[in-house]
Amino acid sequence: MIKKRANINKGAGILFLIFGLLFFIIVVRFITIQVTGQADGVVLAAQAAKQYLRTNILEAKRGTIYDDKGEVIAENVASYTLAAVLDKKMTTDPENPHHVVNPQMTAEKLSRYINMPEEDIYKILTKKGPKQVEFGKAGKDISYDTKKKIEALKLPGIIFMPDSKRFYPNGIFASHLIGYAQKNENDVNSKLVGKMGLEKSLDKYLEGTDGKVSFEGDLWGYLLPGAKKDVQEPKNGDNVYLTIDKKIQIFIEDAMSKVEEKYKPKNMIAIVADPKTGKILGMGQRPTFDPTTREGIEKGWSNQVVETSYEPGSVMKIFTLAAAVQEGVFNPNALYKSGTFYVKGVPNPIRDWNNGAGWGSISYLQGLQRSSNVAFATLLDKIGQDTFRTYLDRFHFGQPTNIGLPNEASGKILYNWPIEKYTTTFGQGTTVTGVQMIQAATAIANDGKMMKPYVVDKIVDPNKNVVKTTKPEVVGKPVSAATAKQVRDYLRTVVTAKNGTGSWYDIPGYDVAGKTGTAQIPGSDGKYLKGRNNYIFSFLGMAPKNNPKLIVYVAVQQPQLGENERESIPVQMIFNPVMKNTLQYLNIKPAKMVETKVTKVPNATNMNVSEAQAKLKDMGLQVEVLGKGTKVVNQLPKQGSTLIQGERIFLKTDGRPSVPDMANWSKRDVMNVADLLDLKLNLTGDGYVWKQSITPNSPIQKGDPLVVNLLPMDKIVEEQAKKKTQVNKGQTQNKQSSNNSSPPLD
């Protein structure tokens, strides 16, 4: 028993010595590491620093995107991420600390340069545990200038990690077309990747290939003296040159911003194209976003010009007209009964946009000018339903254009039921994309040759070798050159005719030809939305008419119009300045203006009225006769005065005088009338005649008072439109509104 106890004590003693020795070794090891900062000859602080260093990857530079003149649209720029070292062990020389020594002072100074409050910076700098910290979004994408300013503060422990970011120097600039590229924020080693637009579709050209460096290093990863390096240089990304012209794009962005601010439409698109080549010179939309910051991108992710299909409205009549002209069935002087048109088997008629009132029996050319739906419905019977369907294919509706942008929609030709065939002629039911409309319009502007639209001119590698180039491509000839020219002539009258719906889009000096559109919008219940603001208003125009150099297409969805404002105003605010400024920028000269001729006024007093009229008209003057007499007794301006051809000259006769209708006359003309007739004139306002107190052509006496109200011409136009609207409301107040299958569109 005693012997057994002795053996137990002996075993316990041995175990005690073993565990005691192990404990001693661990304690010595721990103290050694704490004092020397080394383990097995390895400096632990250096190993800790090593994880923050980039070693073997040589990052490729993403290619630059340029406009057609070589101006930068998207490029890589140097950026830096701000970080702070908190680990005191990173400092080996107290005189030269490498960690944050004074968190309070450091936070106060950093808050001047990054977008973070001082107290938040202080909290980060005093965290327990981490050896190194960053400052979130506020510490990323630090510019070189800001980096230099912070470095000048000589703050211990503040470091910068080099990086690159994608920069878009023009801000909001064809943003959905260009798209954007970014890194994975959760992976510090990730590359820039295209996420939208051309940045995405051309990613394989832009991204390049990273290089690497291999070398013999010491235990801390540093190059040993005399060691060889094996460097595989990175291949930088290719550079992309677009057809977009920066100046033209700015015209678009500026005009759209003004409309967005004033009318707050739900959506807008605008496209400028060269019809001879298919080049897209500018493309914009609203809502949009800043591709550098991505601010605003949540309002819309898609490129509406390419990815969104919609009913085009009466702009579609361009192509129905072209089919009718090509088939020889469009007689501009033939008459038809406007107002309503019944499709066999359909109870509700197709109506003209004035609630089916129409304009009586009018010519087909007038029907085009007034944008009569009934005119184009009756044209389908002349063209033939099957024949017209082939023209829709010839113009490539229902097919993607293959412009080279992501997620292109194809639209849909709705052509099954009889009513659908008729409504397609005036742009209802069938859907299109903006880029399809541009492609189809090139056939009209380019003498029958339809050009494929494109936005990428060429792709060039870093050594300036051309990798890929785009040539203009004819994708169809839906109509002949003669038909295209005739259609342009007809479309010009839409702009110039007194009752033409496109009169607001006329640009002095340039013969604009085009067509308006007002399309209804389907609601979630399948029915069209109601209300004067619930439309897509549009205009597609080309200029100059005889040899178009530009096509401009603008569509504005659901602008918030004032009660008395024209529906065309938001579209006009974009189309007119963009078309005019672009024509001038491209040095396309206005049509030669007729030389202004002046003439000396002869003496017409004592002459026979008819003879005096004939003589003065031959001189190019506009003659106004005051009174019913046969002999001229006085005149203004007097003999010897100088007048420009087309100006008015007034002749007072020996008969009983009367005041003419002076609507829209100038103040000077009114004063001449009052002077000749010895009337007491009272003028109110400035501009041109809006109202006059004496009824036109009624007899007057010497000394009678004449009150004339003057307004600026633009105000007169607004008042006339307001009056017309009120009249139309009164006429249609009790009429039944049109049904969904045939709404009153222009």
Give the residue from 393, 401, 362, 394 showing the smallest Cα distance to 378.
362
Where b means 16+ CB within 10 Å and e means fewer, 641-651 reads: eebeeebbbbb
One domain, residues 518 and 539: yes
CA–chain centroid gap for 243, Å, is: 15
The yes-or-no answer on residue 164 being catalytic is: no
DSSP state of 218: -
Distance of alpha carbon 613 from alpha carbon 619, whole angstroms: 10
One domain, residues 458 and 571: yes
First to last CA, the chain: 119
Which CATH number belongs to the domain containing residue 716 in this structure?
Answer: 3.30.10.20
CA–chain centroid gap for 363, Å, is: 37
| Higher pLDDT pick, 641 / 720 | 641
Radius of gyration of the chain (CA): 39
Give the residue from 723, 587, 737 showing the smallest Cα distance to 663.
723
Residue 728 falls inside a structural domain: no
Q: How far is CA 120 from CA 98, 107, 108, 126, in A?
A: 22, 8, 10, 10
Quote the pLDDT of residue 697: 86
One domain, residues 265 and 379: yes
Single-letter amino acid code for the residue at 603:
N
pLDDT tens track for 292-301 = 889 999 998 9
One domain, residues 548 and 608: no
Residue 593 falls inside a structural domain: no
Residue 288: how many CA atoms within 13 Å on its side-chain side? Answer: 28
One domain, residues 250 and 138: no
Contact in structure between 275 and 446 (CB atoms under 8 Å)? yes
Tallying the residues shown for the chain, one arrives at: 746
Residue 6 falls inside a structural domain: no
Distance of alpha carbon 136 from alpha carbon 83, whole angstroms: 10
Of 563, 585, 607, the residue that ends a domain is 585
Beta bridge partners of 626: 652
Mean pLDDT of the 177-185 span: 88
One domain, residues 130 and 181: yes
Which CATH number belongs to the domain containing residue 116 in this structure?
Answer: 3.30.70.2110
Residue 216 falls inside a structural domain: no
Quote the pLDDT of residue 742: 42
Task: Given the residues 79, 201, 314, 742, select the one marked as catalytic.
Answer: 314
Mean pLDDT of the 658-684 span: 88
Residue 567 token pair: 């529906």
One domain, residues 393 and 363: yes
Distance of alpha carbon 63 from alpha carbon 240, whole angstroms: 7
CA–chain centroid gap for 254, Å, is: 9
3 state SS for 155-206 = CCCEEEEEEEEEECCCCCCCHHHHCEEECCCCCCCCCCEEEEHHHHHCHHHH
DSSP state of 115: S
Give the residue from 490, 474, 391, 489 showing the smallest Cα distance to 439.
474
Contact in structure between 477 and 448 (CB atoms under 8 Å)? yes
Residue 733 token pair: 């107040």
Which CATH number belongs to the domain containing residue 347 in this structure?
Answer: 3.40.710.10
Of 192, 219, 237, the residue that ends a domain is 237
Give the residue from 570, 305, 315 showing the smallest Cα distance to 428.
315
How many domains does the chain divide into? 3
Residue 741 falls inside a structural domain: no
Sign of the alpha-carbon torsion through 201, 204, 205, 209: positive
One domain, residues 620 and 575: no
Residue 740 falls inside a structural domain: no
Distance of alpha carbon 508 from alpha carbon 730, whole angstroms: 35
Domain with 656 in it: 598-720
Contact in structure between 320 and 388 (CB atoms under 8 Å)? yes
Where b means 16+ CB within 10 Å and e means fewer, 585-615 reads: eeeeeeeeeeeeeebebeebeebebeebbee
One domain, residues 276 and 297: yes
| Confidence class for position 7, pLDDT limits 50, 70, 90 | low
Mean pLDDT of the 221-249 span: 78
One domain, residues 315 and 448: yes
Residue 581 falls inside a structural domain: yes
274 burial type by CB count under 10 A (0-12 exposed, 13-18 middle, 19+ buried): buried
Single-letter amino acid code for the residue at 301:
W
Distance of alpha carbon 686 from alpha carbon 667, whole angstroms: 8
Contact in structure between 543 and 511 (CB atoms under 8 Å)? yes
Q: Is pLDDT at 54 greater than 50 in this prediction?
A: no
Q: What are phi and psi of 83, to 5 degrees?
A: -145, 165
Single-letter amino acid code for the residue at 133:
V
| Confidence class for position 437, pLDDT limits 50, 70, 90 | very high
Residue 51 falls inside a structural domain: no
Contact in structure between 402 and 455 (CB atoms under 8 Å)? no
Contact in structure between 521 and 558 (CB atoms under 8 Å)? yes
Contact in structure between 170 and 178 (CB atoms under 8 Å)? no
Quote the pLDDT of residue 219: 42
pLDDT tens track for 484-500 = 999 999 999 999 998 99
One domain, residues 205 and 286: no
Distance of alpha carbon 270 from alpha carbon 254, whole angstroms: 12
Distance of alpha carbon 100 from alpha carbon 86, whole angstroms: 6
Q: Is pLDDT at 583 greater than 50 in this prediction?
A: yes
One domain, residues 543 and 672: no
Quote the pLDDT of residue 710: 83
- Supply angle C-alpha 116, 118, 121, rounded to 5: 70
Q: Is pLDDT at 336 greater than 80 in this prediction?
A: yes
707-710, Cβ contacts within 8 angstroms, sequence gap of 24 or more: 707/682, 708/662, 708/670, 708/681, 708/682, 708/683, 708/684, 709/684, 709/685, 710/667, 710/683, 710/684, 710/685, 710/686
| Confidence class for position 384, pLDDT limits 50, 70, 90 | very high
Of the given ranges (71-80, 395-404, 434-443, 597-606), which has the lowest mean pLDDT?
597-606
Of the given ranges (540-549, 672-681, 685-694), which has the lowest mean pLDDT?
685-694
Residue 542 token pair: 């080309």
Of the given ranges (148-157, 482-491, 515-524, 730-739), which has the lowest mean pLDDT?
730-739
Quote the pLDDT of residue 188: 54
Contact in structure between 457 and 68 (CB atoms under 8 Å)? yes
- Counting residues of the chain whose pLDDT is more than 70, the rounded percentage is 85
Contact in structure between 318 and 441 (CB atoms under 8 Å)? yes
Residue 524 token pair: 């979630």
385: three-class secondary structure by DSSP: helix
pTM of the model: 0.72
Residue 537 token pair: 């208003």
Peptide bond into 559 cis (omega under 30): no
Distance of alpha carbon 716 from alpha carbon 663, whole angstroms: 10
